[in-house]
Chain A
Amino acid sequence: MRVELIVNGEMRTVEVEPRMSLLDCLRERLLLTGAHAGCEHGVCGACTVLIDGAPARSCLMFAVQADGYAITTIEGVTPGPGELSPIQDAFCETHGMQCGYCTPAMILTAHALLADNPDPTRADIVDAISANICRCTGYAQIVEAIALAAERMRGLNQPARKP
């Protein structure tokens, strides 16, 4: 059946089977491969996208259910070719990743958090990303990245100096 998805601000019309997940639709039909499959049953969070600004598991949602909603993927928060958002840049600054597989979902989760709460405590950050599993890092540098991004976005800090 035909669905109309507003993906990263653009209306996309896609023909899908009713059983196709939003994740498969984004990856296979719209070639937005920044959302990743990890467990396909809502546990790991690697498929997280923003639906009307709120983080959601795209593996637990059918594409047909997303009809009419504003969907933001990692591709949608990247400012432009070769550019990084302040959150993306902060993840690079603290090396808030290793293999990079959970990273786009972590960053979208951080975008949603900081949109609601520009001055999160460590506990707020931990709470927000506890829905996203990372197997490489132990989370410390991810928490640090989000705290750094929040600090910079509040304008309290200059970009970190180069050594």
Chain B
Amino acid sequence: MTAKSFRFVSTDRRVREDRRFVVGKGRFAADIAAAGTRHVALVTCPHPAARILAIDKAAALAAPGVHYVLDGRELAAATQPLLAGLDTPKVPRRPLAVDVARYAGEWVAAVVADTRALAEDAAELVRVDYQPLPFVLDGEAAYAPGSPIVHADHGSNVLLDRTFVWGEVEKDFAESPHRLSLRLKWGRSSTVPVETFAVLASWDPWREVFDVYASVQMPRFPDQVALALKLPGSSVRVHNDVDVGGSYGVKRGIKHAVLVGYLSRRLGFPVRLVEDRLENMRAGDGHGPERNFDIEVAFDEMGLIRAMKMRALDNVGAYAGRSPFQLGKPIGAIVGPYRIQSVQYRAIAVTSNKTVQEAVRAFGQSPTNYAIERAIEEVARHRGLDRLEVRRRNLIRADEFPYLIPSGTTYDSGDYHAVVDKVVARADYAALAAERDRLRARGLLAGIGMAACLEPSGANSTFEPLLNPKNETTTYTDSCRINVDVSGAVTATIHTLSAGQGHETLVGTVVGEVLEIDPDRIRVVRPDSLASLPSQSPVGSRMAIMLGGAAFHAAQKLKARLLAIAAHDLKIPPERVAYDAGDVFDRSAPQNRRTWAELVTIAHRNFHRLPPNTEPGLAFTHVMQVPTGGRLPTADGRVQMYPCFAFEFHLLLMTIDPDLGKPEIKRYFVGHDCGTVINPKLVAQSLMDYLLPSAHEVPPVEIVHHVTPSPHTVFGQKGSGESGYLGAPAAIASAVNDALRPLGIVVNSLPIKLAQLGDMIAAARGQSNTVGESE
């Protein structure tokens, strides 16, 4: 397939959101000041596990400017527990701890005062009497019998323990000449947006409506807040026209919103909570997967992998939020880009006395990609083969698409070998290897890293019914409404918040493409949640597919109406009219036409000229179902997880200072195929997300694009929102292991810390020196 040509799609146009950001006129949650707003500071538990014996509020309540001190019992009596993903009713999660606190940093009480500073002063005066309890931090220890139990009523720390078998795994293992196993660790990490979570809630007791302004990226946020506050959904108005200062999955904020919502209603004034960085890191929603992998692969002489067994144990922390689902999403790409025929996958989620894990970018896919890539590298090492060659041999071939993987998902399209070839050519792999060897000869540790992986995109949340049988979710909508007003101006809508993904530009571009008018002339707005159509959130690299798709279909409906009105008014059969940049003309007599302005006037003012049974005005909506979605998983857990699969291949050269353990990335290449690119500016940079912290450390990344359109989407687009993060950890680990190979060191855990690296190198060199001396 080749890319189609477009008028505006895939052209290098400015991103409309940028204009407000460069002048400091973004509208972030902390910028919104309602009159009379009071501020919250939190009292947090210093113990990993403790019984709360007493809370003495007297001194805090007597402090200047203090209005209230709220504890967990009062809040629990008035609200429902927060929604959990799995069916785990005995693991209730609430904004404030009730009687027992289960991790250091857990919120125990909330102080409301005139200013944040006064609230912080008073929070220090709240005296909590704790009785420390036994605790467990390590995931495997929490899983083992005899561990302290985080939620006594649940009876164990196990939230999920399910083994899936797809295909003839045991037979394939028995028939394969070689096998190897690996234990890998993916440590907790966070994406750390520069903006912490912020929320302002204001209850209007006469209208009986909450107004909520929050920096949120959470599917069904308004519904979940309403449920917890025991209100109908129509009583929670979440403002979608708030800019989110970075999220990358973590801006969830349900507990924050329920807390300030309750306080606002209880106290009768607007209440705001803006996390400080400490609150954000200890008890915010920023902690990502912490996962142990035991992976076993069966393969032949050529390094072709036939079967895989993977055990993934995830330490989700003290409560069950949505995070255990992060073991579910990777099922949709459980073999990565490789032709592995059968898979056994055991997914285990355990509680521990750590901060609650939440969704972090790529929702569990990045750790899985890392595990698969480590296994591929070990297979190459085992067979004494080149790592690149082993990958090429195992990659799914372009002529095999659509390709059904053992777990029941069909990959839509791709040409993985072409992308790899492009990167290898651009990087001049042979020259890169020669450069590595030259650096090694100079005494540096140098390594080439590589990773091939998939980005499942177009989230449809099928992991919900897969891991929770009581949940029969088979749709995961996003929507768009287009209105042409009486002046002929076009306004389109987005029904979620955005965190820098350029969704206004996306919608403008798509609607402009369909209507053949300048995208800059299309106004894009975000109605509040009460005026919104069913929409989720920009998660799972879905918006190009889902919001782009909704905008496309709504614009098509508008275009169809314009054609119908024109045909009726020109008194010609519908098949004779054609659309031309807003005007409609008679194909047989092109001079017979109705202009955009005329058609708009007929629709809005001249009912007598409209076709029979036609609604006046020009307002069109489209609620988008996820392409390929709609079915429940089979009993053995086979499921079409996401519709589209973008591919990326990373290749880099890195050095490590043998004395300091300090890494330096010399070259970094990424080949990327996310189907049709809607706006190249928006895609270019999502490839290098937070590899390393400051401008000094991040190398220039050389990006190679390839386009294999998806058959499931309106322009052939796939998602690209999570791309860099999906392969970079695996690629960096690959480079480090290549660099350390001469020392006989293998690193099988992430993160790789400088100090740890330095120590390992020193130890290995010490040993080799000792050997040298004894000879």
Residue of B nearest to A104 (CB): B24
10 tightest A-B contacts by CB? A34-B24, A100-B21, A138-B688, A99-B500, A101-B245, A98-B500, A74-B24, A88-B22, A95-B681, A33-B31
Whether B194 pairs with A95 at a CB distance below 8 angstroms is no
Q: Which residues of B contact A33 (CB under 8 A)?
A: 24, 28, 30-31
Q: Which residues of A contact B502 (CB under 8 A)?
A: 98
A136 at the interface (CB under 8 A from B): yes
B13 at the interface (CB under 8 A from A): yes
Provide the bound-state CA to CA distance between A74 and B24, in Å.
6
Q: Which residues of A contact B243 (CB under 8 A)?
A: 99-101
A53 at the interface (CB under 8 A from B): no
Stretch at the interface among B126-134, B694-702, B764-772: B694-702
B414 at the interface (CB under 8 A from A): no
Provide the bound-state CA to CA distance between A125 and B33, in Å.
36
Whether A135 pairs with B690 at a CB distance below 8 angstroms is yes
Whether A84 pairs with B23 at a CB distance below 8 angstroms is yes
Chain A residue total in the interface (Cβ 8 A): 57
Q: Which residues of B contact A131 (CB under 8 A)?
A: 694
Interface string of A69-84 (1 = CB under 8 A from B): 0000111001000001
Whether B194 pairs with A38 at a CB distance below 8 angstroms is yes
With contact pairs A39-B277, A135-B193 given, residues A74 and B23 touching in the complex (Cβ less than 8 Å): yes
Within 8 A of B (CB), among A105-133: 107, 125-127, 129-133
B484 at the interface (CB under 8 A from A): no
B400 at the interface (CB under 8 A from A): no
Within 8 A of A (CB), among B297-339: none
Whether A92 pairs with B192 at a CB distance below 8 angstroms is no
Q: Which residues of B contact A32 (CB under 8 A)?
A: 24
Q: How far is the CB of B21 from chain A (nearest CB, A)?
A: 3
Whether B681 pairs with A36 at a CB distance below 8 angstroms is no
Q: How far is the CB of B215 from chain A (nearest CB, A)?
A: 9
Q: Which of A17, A95, A136 contacts B684 (CB 8 A)?
A: A95
Provide the bound-state CA to CA distance between A72 and B158, in Å.
55
User: How many A-B residue pairs lie within 8 Å, measured between CB atoms?
Assistant: 164
Q: Which residues of A contact B245 (CB under 8 A)?
A: 36, 99-101
Whether B23 pairs with A92 at a CB distance below 8 angstroms is no
Q: Which residues of B contact A7 (CB under 8 A)?
A: none
Q: How far is the CB of B706 from chain A (nearest CB, A)?
A: 20
Residue of B nearest to A89 (CB): B22
Q: How far is the CB of A86 from chain B (nearest CB, A)?
A: 11
Interface string of A14-41 (1 = CB under 8 A from B): 0001011000000110001111111111
Residue of B nearest to A95 (CB): B681
Q: Which residues on A are within 8 Å of B, measured CB to CB?
A: 17, 19-20, 27-28, 32-41, 44, 46, 73-75, 78, 84, 88-89, 91-95, 97-104, 107, 125-127, 129-143, 163
Provide the bound-state CA to CA distance between A89 and B196, in Å.
27
Q: Which residues of A contact B192 (CB under 8 A)?
A: 135
Provide the bound-state CA to CA distance between A99 and B19, in Å.
12
Q: Is the interface of A mostly helix, strand, loop or mixed?
A: loop
Whether B117 pairs with A95 at a CB distance below 8 angstroms is no
Whether A99 pairs with B277 at a CB distance below 8 angstroms is no
Whether A36 pairs with B696 at a CB distance below 8 angstroms is no
A-B contacts besides A39-B277, A92-B19, A100-B17, 8 pairs, CB < 8 Å: A38-B194, A38-B277, A95-B14, A101-B243, A135-B248, A136-B685, A139-B688, A141-B685
Q: Which residues of B contact A34 (CB under 8 A)?
A: 23-25
Q: How far is the CB of A10 from chain B (nearest CB, A)?
A: 16
B626 at the interface (CB under 8 A from A): no
Q: Which of B15, B22, B246, B274 contacts A135 (CB 8 A)?
A: B246
Q: Which residues of B contact A19 (CB under 8 A)?
A: 117
Q: Which residues of A contact B694 (CB under 8 A)?
A: 130-131, 133
Interface string of B576-598 (1 = CB under 8 A from A): 00000000000000000000000
B18 at the interface (CB under 8 A from A): yes
B11 at the interface (CB under 8 A from A): yes
B693 at the interface (CB under 8 A from A): yes
Q: How far is the CB of B241 from chain A (nearest CB, A)?
A: 14
Residue in A32, A88, A140 with the greatest tally of chain B CB atoms within 10 Å:
A140
Whether B194 pairs with A44 at a CB distance below 8 angstroms is yes
Q: How far is the CB of A72 from chain B (nearest CB, A)?
A: 12
With contact pairs A73-B24, A100-B21, A101-B194 given, residues A138 and B690 touching in the complex (Cβ less than 8 Å): yes
Interface string of B22-55 (1 = CB under 8 A from A): 1111101011010000000000000000000000
Q: How far is the CB of A29 from chain B (nearest CB, A)?
A: 11
With contact pairs A101-B195, A102-B194, A138-B688 given, residues A95 and B682 touching in the complex (Cβ less than 8 Å): yes
Whether A37 pairs with B701 at a CB distance below 8 angstroms is no
Q: How far is the CB of B496 from chain A (nearest CB, A)?
A: 14
B424 at the interface (CB under 8 A from A): no
Whether A99 pairs with B685 at a CB distance below 8 angstroms is no
B175 at the interface (CB under 8 A from A): no
Provide the bound-state CA to CA distance between A43 and B277, in Å.
11
> Mind listing 19 A-B residue pairs with CB under 8 Å?
A20-B117, A28-B33, A32-B24, A33-B31, A35-B24, A84-B19, A92-B19, A95-B14, A98-B499, A98-B686, A100-B18, A101-B246, A126-B695, A126-B696, A135-B248, A135-B690, A137-B688, A139-B695, A163-B13
B689 at the interface (CB under 8 A from A): yes
Q: Which residues of A contact B11 (CB under 8 A)?
A: 163
Q: Which residues of B contact A130 (CB under 8 A)?
A: 694-696
Provide the bound-state CA to CA distance between A50 and B426, in Å.
42
Provide the bound-state CA to CA distance between A131 and B696, in Å.
10
Q: Which of A20, A88, A127 contacts B23 (CB 8 A)?
A: A88
Q: Which residues of B contact A136 (CB under 8 A)?
A: 246, 500, 685, 689
B471 at the interface (CB under 8 A from A): no
Q: Which of A93, A125, A129, A133 contacts B194 (CB 8 A)?
A: A133
Residue of B nearest to A145 (CB): B22
Q: How far is the CB of B245 from chain A (nearest CB, A)?
A: 3
B244 at the interface (CB under 8 A from A): yes
Q: Which residues of B contact A93 (CB under 8 A)?
A: 14
Interface string of B654-698 (1 = CB under 8 A from A): 000000000000000000000000000110111111110111101
Q: Which residues of B contact A78 (CB under 8 A)?
A: 23-24
Residue of A nearest to B191 (CB): A135
Q: Which residues of A contact B4 (CB under 8 A)?
A: none
Provide the bound-state CA to CA distance between A91 and B117, in Å.
35
Whether B700 pairs with A100 at a CB distance below 8 angstroms is no
Residue of A nearest to B689 (CB): A138
B20 at the interface (CB under 8 A from A): yes
Q: Which of A38, A91, A163 contacts B22 (CB 8 A)?
A: A91
Provide the bound-state CA to CA distance between A42 and B195, in Å.
14
Q: Which of A17, A38, A140 contacts B117 (CB 8 A)?
A: A17
Q: How far is the CB of A46 from chain B (nearest CB, A)?
A: 5
Whether B22 pairs with A107 at a CB distance below 8 angstroms is yes
Q: Which residues of B contact A137 (CB under 8 A)?
A: 685, 688
Q: How far is the CB of B33 from chain A (nearest CB, A)?
A: 8
Whether A99 pairs with B244 at a CB distance below 8 angstroms is yes
Q: How far is the CB of B771 from chain A (nearest CB, A)?
A: 42
Residue of A nearest to B681 (CB): A95
Q: Which residues of A contact B748 (CB under 8 A)?
A: none
Residue of B nearest to A31 (CB): B33
Q: How far is the CB of B280 from chain A (nearest CB, A)?
A: 9
Provide the bound-state CA to CA distance between A162 and B440, in Å.
47
Provide the bound-state CA to CA distance between A74 and B192, in Å.
24
Q: How far is the CB of B11 from chain A (nearest CB, A)?
A: 6
B456 at the interface (CB under 8 A from A): no
Residue of B nearest to A37 (CB): B30
Provide the bound-state CA to CA distance between A17 and B64, in Å.
14
Residue in A27, A36, A101, A104 with the greatest tally of chain B CB atoms within 10 Å:
A101
Residue of B nearest to A143 (CB): B695
B161 at the interface (CB under 8 A from A): no
Whether A103 pairs with B684 at a CB distance below 8 angstroms is no
B124 at the interface (CB under 8 A from A): no
